[in-house]
Structure 1
Amino acid sequence: MQVTTAQRWVRRWDAQQERYIPDREERFRVVIDVVRAAVGTGPARVVDLGCGPGSLSARIAAALPQVDVVGVDADPLLLGLGAANTGPRVKLIEADLCYPSWPDRTGLAGPWDAAVSSTALHWLDPDSLAALYRTLAERLRPGGVFVNADQMGLGASTLDAIAGAVREARTARVGTDRNEDWAEWWQALREDAELTPLLDGRDHSTSHTENDLTVHQQAALLRAAGFAEAGPVWQFGDDHVLVAVR
């Protein structure tokens, strides 16, 4: 794959993500701020869970010059786009986060200084997510952090409706509601002949089931998994950055 092709598709990926997350870049900056606060300015290793094409991984590496980032995702096509688009301090590996042994299968031994995720873990069912959180608690060093940036409900129907409306209004104000959506991005990708080898044999479904866990339930899962503290540090509507400290 040509680098220019990967860059073009990752730019389109970022744009379609902003259709759903109008403050995505600010949310990335908050994640980076949390990682910086946890690891300081020295060498550190950060694991990006469900990294997709490495959008967050690349931004962490650019902002924190002493940090090496390992991105993990189950989609070889997205990893292929990321591998052609990220720098030398970002390593992308294929693994299914639903299997608790994925760190051992990939040689990703701990301890890690931080783990992050952005708009990915809501696809995991509650049992798989709880198992992943236990794995993180085992692999992160004492004082290490897990930072999860995602849309999470508040657990009250009226508040959830208001929070969703706030995000949608923000999307309309900044104009990202006109960006191509998830299904349109994948359809356009399938029409690019250069990417046919990466698409062969791939599940082309664009529909998923979300776990619908609230931010409070997510924090409780993290504490039950072995984290000392867990809670949101940033919110816009139903969009949160949730931090857990090992």
Structure 2
Amino acid sequence: MGAGTGGVSTGTAARWVERWERQQQRYAVDREERFAVIADLVEHVAGGRPSPLVLDLGSGPGCLAARLAARLPGAEVLAVDADPLLLELGSAHYGRTLRYVNTLIGEPGWVGRLGLDRPVDAVVSTTALHYLGERTLRQVYGELAGLLRPGGILVNGDHISPDSARMSELARDVGRRHAERNADCGHEEDWESWWSGAAGDPELAPLLGQGGEGRAPCEGNDLTVSGHVALLRDAGFADVGVVWQVGPSHVLAAVR
């Protein structure tokens, strides 16, 4: 078996990336459809352009980033995450399909560590930006607006509450029922069991000692849809709106 730069074999990486995909389905309603919608949006904006540049923020091992690279074969796709284990698993599994960047979104100097040489066509993120506090998210939205070319797109797929408490309650119930109908909630693995299992794998344990074990500092925010829209418009995005929703899972798009 081959190995990535950190010594993880391709077989081990494939097994743990597959387990990552399964446990993530517990936390994203209709995850595959959401990924497809995000890829549709990126292709709409970047398809046909020479060498489009795409960023996946909070990428984990790069599951969405790899799908985007397959959809846009000529693109340069960066998988950006703060956890060295997840990045090494992705590197060993997906190889040179992606470029991996280890940086914490929003910390001082994080944009410089991306190593960009041209404007970005699309930025995507899934189930990650809710970890940022409102002040940090405002900063990050502004920085991303500065990276994107005119007409470029920012796509955020995440748990985002509707604007009223009653609608939020209804959305959660719709999401739960949708998951039950589609067997999305029948996965035994969860976040904690994945990380505890990884800690017990001798190939992965050394990488767990290098960083945050998937647990980047979590300020968190309780922004509703309109709260995100307001921050994005303040950052300079002209057109902002929800393009897909199932229960509390939203895909929010903003065009530069």
| TM-score, reference length from structure 1 | 0.95
- 1:31-110 alignment to 2 at 5 Å? 31-42=38-49, 43-110=51-118
Task: Report Cα offsets for 1:122-152 as digits up to 9, x if no partner.
Answer: 0011111111101111110000000111110
Distance 1:102 1:209 in 2: 17
Task: Report Cα offsets for 1:160-183 as digits up to 9, x if no partner.
Answer: 011011111122222232212111
Q: What is aligned with 1:111?
A: 119
Task: Report Cα offsets for 1:37-85 as digits up to 9, x if no partner.
Answer: 1112232010111111101100000111121101111111111111112
Note the residue ranges of structure 1 that are not aligned, 5 or more in a row: none
Over the aligned positions, Cα root-mean-square deviation in angstroms equals 1.6
Q: What is aligned with 1:27?
A: 34
User: Which range moves more in the overlay, 169-178 or 62-71?
Assistant: 169-178
Q: What is aligned with 1:151?
A: 159
Q: Report the Cα offset of residue 99 of structure 1.
A: 1.9
Task: Report Cα offsets for 1:11-33 as digits up to 9, x if no partner.
Answer: 11111111122311110010010
Q: What is aligned with 2:196?
A: 187
Q: What is aligned with 1:215?
A: 225
Q: Report the Cα offset of residue 101 of structure 1.
A: 2.7
- Name the aligned partner's letter for residue 90 of structure 2: G
Q: Does the aligned pair in 2 maintain the 1:116–1:148 contact within 8 Å? A: yes
Q: Does the aligned pair in 2 maintain the 1:155–1:214 contact within 8 Å? A: yes
Q: Report the Cα offset of residue 209 of structure 1.
A: 5.2
Q: What is aligned with 2:4?
A: none
For the residue of structure 2 that corresponds to 1:84, the secondary structure is: helix
How many corresponding residue pairs? Answer: 246
Q: What is aligned with 2:245?
A: 235
Q: What is aligned with 2:3?
A: none
Residues 195 and 137 of structure 1, relative CA distance in 2, 3 Å threshold? same
Match of 1:131 among 139, 152, 164: 139
Distance 2:150 2:39 in 1: 19
Distance 1:95 1:28 in 2: 23
Amino-acid identity (%): 46
Q: Does the aligned pair in 1 maintain the 2:101–2:113 contact within 8 Å? A: no
For the residue of structure 2 that corresponds to 1:66, the secondary structure is: coil
- Name the aligned partner's letter for residue 96 of structure 2: P
